[in-house]
């Protein structure tokens, strides 16, 4: 892990969080809003593997938790788990064009399930069947729709960091 990769992760997480809070959460969409941070976590997991997905997920979730009304650490754990599990799909060889869509679907369902179970365990009265089903039916498909915009961009940025600096000249 280089300083450039840490900086790339930090800049993309803060940018995604700002977009999530200022733009995406205010869109007049039916159901729950898409989760740009989760799609970013899955993109890093696919590009760099399970450990990068877990670390990115934890950092993104912790920042999102700081701006939320729920208990600190709930999104951090949910995103870290989703990042690790989707990172297991990381493969340096040529992959199917549908793999990122499946990975985002898996990550969204894992994150939603983990966050919901944490809420049940912590006695959060807002976690009931209707809001969880609403998020599963609306937010998860929105996340999948964001896939072709986020995953290739993150993959290109990560590949750019992998290029030997002497070969760029």
Q: Tell me: the pLDDT tens digits for 34-56? A: 999 999 999 999 999 999 999 99
Give me 26's structure tokens. 């205010």
Q: How far is CA 125 from CA 63, 70, 85, 149, in A?
A: 23, 11, 28, 35
Answer whether residue 70 shows pLDDT above 80: yes
CATH code reported for the domain at 3-89+97-162: 1.10.1760.20
DSSP 34: P
Report H helices in 23-128: 36-48, 50-66, 74-87, 99-122
Per-domain residue ranges of the chain: 3-89+97-162
**Distances from the Cα of 156 to the Cα of 46, 47, 93, 114, 141, angstroms:** 12, 9, 15, 30, 24
pLDDT at position 35, please? 96
| 78-125 pLDDT, tens digit each | 999 999 999 999 876 667 889 999 999 999 999 999 999 999 999 999
């Amino acid at each position: 892990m280089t300083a450039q990769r840490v900086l790339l992760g930090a800049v993309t997480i803060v940018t995604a969080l700002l977009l999530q809070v200022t733009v995406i959460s205010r869109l007049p969409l039916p159901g729950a809003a898409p989760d740009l941070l989760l799609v970013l976590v899955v993109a890093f997991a696919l590009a760099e593997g399970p450990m990068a997905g877990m670390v990115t997920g934890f950092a993104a979730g912790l920042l999102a938790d700081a701006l939320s009304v729920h208990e600190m650490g709930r999104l951090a754990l949910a995103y870290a788990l989703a990042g690790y599990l989707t990172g297991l799909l990381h493969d340096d060889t040529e992959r199917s064009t549908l793999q990122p869509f499946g990975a985002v679907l898996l990550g969204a369902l894992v994150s939603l399930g983990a966050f919901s179970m944490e809420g049940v365990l912590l006695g959060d009265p807002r976690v009931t069947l209707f809001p969880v089903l609403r998020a599963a039916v609306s937010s998860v498909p929105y996340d999948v729709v964001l896939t072709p915009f986020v995953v290739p961009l993150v993959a290109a940025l990560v590949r750019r960091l992998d290029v030997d600096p002497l070969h760029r000249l």
